[in-house]
Structure 1
Amino acid sequence: MTIRLGYQIPNFTYPGVSEGDLFATVAAQAQEAEASGFDTVLVMDHFYQLPGIGTPDQAMLESYTTLGALASATSTIQLSTLVTGNTYRNPALTAKTVTTLDVVSKGRAILGIGAGWFEREHHDYGFEFGTFAERFERLEEALEIIAPMLRGEPATFAGKWYTAHEAMNNPRVRPKIPIMLGGGGEKKTFRLAARFADHMNIICDIGDLSRKVQVLRERCEEAGRDPATLPTSYLTMGLVGEDEAEAKQLAGLVPADRRDRVFLGTLDQVAEQLHEKVLGAGVDGITINLVPNGHRPGMVSRVGAALKPLVG
């Protein structure tokens, strides 16, 4: 399993598209991604739209229902969340859910998972939020249950937050479903990635990326793991104009809190920036979203064609 070129779909508000036609627009993006060289399609595991992209009342599809439908709309591309909020599900149920997605997609599921962070969702939906430290305690316990279940092994665990008693996980179509952690925490997230993950999606400001890569390698070495066995990718928001004029228009859409995670320009300019600043920092792959115009027919295809040569 590897993610060299991922396409994330975080936005479900499309001008001129009714709610009844919403999923068809999502599926069309996934199909373009598959046909143009992307290896993975990813959706967010949220219930409200995130600050910096839109307002909480805007459209947000439930992640695993969406991925299950995309499994039928595609045939080869991997499917994942970026990332599943651990606090939203019992861990054994999470393992069962992603394994069912793997069966439905004939072996294309990846479990992307993180500690959870969007407090308003927890409050409004009635999920316990807890402290930062507690959410990472819960994530570690959850992985103790999820990891063996994704290998087809019954899981037994008794912890502070979760328990499982010989929890079985059938049917399965692969010996193991890969786990991807997402985040940028050098002490907690990277330590858990070194123990449990098959892939690490690094989320951070671009200026911090080189250091994050080095720290992740150190956490692997501390865990007795060869860093080369934990491939990485980087999540970026792409404000990609088809020409200079559109790129200038998109410049006004850069969220104030994400300026150091946004790549802005024409296709060629964004490709050059990603090659220099992301792959040049030692990261193995790129995951990009196209919030303003990814729904425009042909846009995902053009971005895929521009970025695929960078990652091989």
Structure 2
Amino acid sequence: MSIRLGYQMPNFSYSGSVAELFPTVIAQAREAESAGFDAAFVMDHFYQLPGIGAPDEPMLEAYSALSALATATSRIQLSALVTGNTYRNPTLLAKTVTTLDVVSGGRAVLGIGAGWYELEHQQLGFDFGTFTDRFERLDEALQIIVPMLRGERPTFDGKWYRTESAMNEPRLRDDLPVMLGGSGEKKTFALAARFAQHMNIICDPAELPRKLDALAQRCQEAGRDRSTLETSFLAFVMIDEDGDRARQAQREFLRARGVDLDTLSEEQRKAATSRQFVGDPDTVAADLQARVLDPGIDGLIVNLVTNGHEPGVVDLAGRTLKKLVG
């Protein structure tokens, strides 16, 4: 498994009818595949996230959508970025991602995290619990899921979950990769060192040197060679052949969410846009190189939150970024 360049679809708020929604998703996945992206991702949420849109904006169930994309593509890896552990029993999740792997011909990646969006849990009836609860649950879940992905039959009796010789058939392979997503230097990184092949780090790019030092420390504590754990960074990319048009799209995107860049101080503007990479292809590439890759991140996962659904934009991003990550 290697994900040097990934494409995440962060929203499904397209113009047109609901009947036209999924064909637009398929078109993006196919364009990402032909542009050389290694993986396509959807979010595992039921409501749209704060900062991207209102809770009632369109959101597809992740694994149904990924299974459909499996039949519409042939090479690109498919994953949730990332699965919320709180939404599914771990044995069900192991079965679900293994089925996606079978359906896709061996292209599934299990992206997983502890879960964090309280409104979904509250309104849909999922147990949210405390921060500590969610990480205890994720730790237990991985002790069940990873053996099931490898063809073992785990028996487990924990605080949150129990299994009895849990079976998972059919499987196409015993090395379906696991990706942890998050920013927690103690808990998340420690779980990645124990269980994952890939760590997707979500943070302000200025924090990356510290995050990578912490990840190396967790690997050392786990007795693991840090070089065996691939890393990536999730970036919001707003790209256009016309850089002014990309910057205008950024302003409109933020203004629609109550943030007016013109009224902010320099410090506030930096905070509001730290994970955004905006402009023409050369500007975006140079910014990602300097702020993400130079500090030591292996790969890029990008979303094109303002215009990714427009034909040709995913291809432009792929052609621009592929040269950065090889």
TM over 0.5: yes
1:130-141 pair list within 5 angstroms: 130-141=129-140
**1:48–1:58 CA contact under 8 A, matched in 2:** yes
**Amino acid aligned to 2:276:** V
* 1:79-228 alignment runs, 5 A limit: 79-228=78-227
Q: Is 1:262 matched up with 2:261?
A: no
Give the match's secondary structure for 1:94: helix
Stretches of structure 1 lacking an aligned partner (at least 5 in a row): none
Between the aligned partners of 1:292 and 1:148, the Cα distance in structure 2 is 39
Q: Percent identity?
A: 62
Segment drifting more, 67-76 vs 260-269: 260-269
User: How far did 1:241 drift?
Assistant: 2.4
Residue deviations 1:44-78 (CA, integer Å, cap 9, x gap):
00000011111011100000000000000100000
* 8 A contact 2:4–2:298 mirrored in 1: yes
How many residue pairs get matched? 311
Q: Does the aligned pair in 1 maintain the 2:41–2:79 contact within 8 Å?
A: yes
Alpha-carbon distance, 1:258 to partner: 4.9
Alignment of 1:306 onto 2:326: no
- Which residue type is aligned with residue 245 of structure 2? E
Cα contact 2:84–2:115 (8 A) shared by 1:
yes
Report the Cα distance in structure 2 between the residues aligned to 1:12 and 1:258, rounded to whole angstroms.
23
Letter matched to residue 219 of structure 2: C
Which residue does 1:68 correspond to in 2?
Answer: 67
Does 1:54 pair with 2:68? no
| More off after superposition, 248-257 vs 135-144 | 248-257
- Note the alpha carbon deviations across 1:202-253, whole angstroms, 9 max, x for none: 0001110111011101110111000000010000111112202312312312
Partner residue in 1 for 2:6 = 6
Specify the alignment match of 1:272 in structure 2.
Answer: 286
Which aligned runs of 4 or more in structure 1 are off by greater than 6 angstroms?
Answer: none
- Residues 44, 63 of structure 1: 8 Å contact kept: yes
- Cα deviation per residue 1:229-283 (whole Å; 9 max; x = unaligned)? 0010000111112202312312312465752111111121111111111110100
Q: Is the 1:152–1:176 Cα contact (8 Å) retained in structure 2?
A: no
Distance 1:199 1:43 in 2: 17
Which residue in the other structure is 2:27 paired with? 28
Aligned match of 2:266: none
Given that 2:243 and 2:278 are in contact with CA atoms closer than 8 Å, whether structure 1 keeps it comes out as: no
Q: Counterpart of 2:46 in structure 1: which amino acid? A: F
Q: Which amino acid aligns with 1:297?
A: P
What is the rounded CA distance, in whole Å, between the counterparts of 2:154 and 2:31 in structure 1?
38
Deviation of 1:310 after TM superposition, in Å, equals 0.6
Whole-angstrom distance in 2 between the partners of 1:122 and 1:258: 27
Cα RMSD of the aligned pairs, angstroms, is: 1.0
Secondary structure, counterpart of 2:22 in structure 1: helix
Matched to 1:4, the amino acid is R
Structure 2: distance between partners of 1:60 and 1:242: 29
Q: Which moved more, 1:244-253 or 1:224-233?
A: 244-253
Query: Which secondary structure state, in structure 1, belongs to the residue aligned with residue 301 of structure 2?
Result: strand
Aligned to 1:291: 305
Matches within 5 A, 1:33-44: 33-44=32-43
Q: Distance in 2 between matches of 1:176 and 1:114?
A: 19
- 2:101–2:107 Cα contact (<8 Å) kept: yes
Distance in 1 (CA, whole Å) between partners of 2:272 and 2:61 is: 24
User: C-alpha separation between the residues in 1 aligned to 2:43 and 2:250?
Assistant: 24
The answer to whether the Cα contact below 8 Å between 1:40 and 1:77 also exists between their aligned partners in 2 is yes
- Cα distance in 1 for partners of 2:190, 2:247 equals 41
> In the alignment, residue 84 of structure 1 is paired with which amino acid?
T
User: What amino acid maps onto 1:294 in structure 2?
Assistant: G
Q: Match for 1:116: what amino acid?
A: G
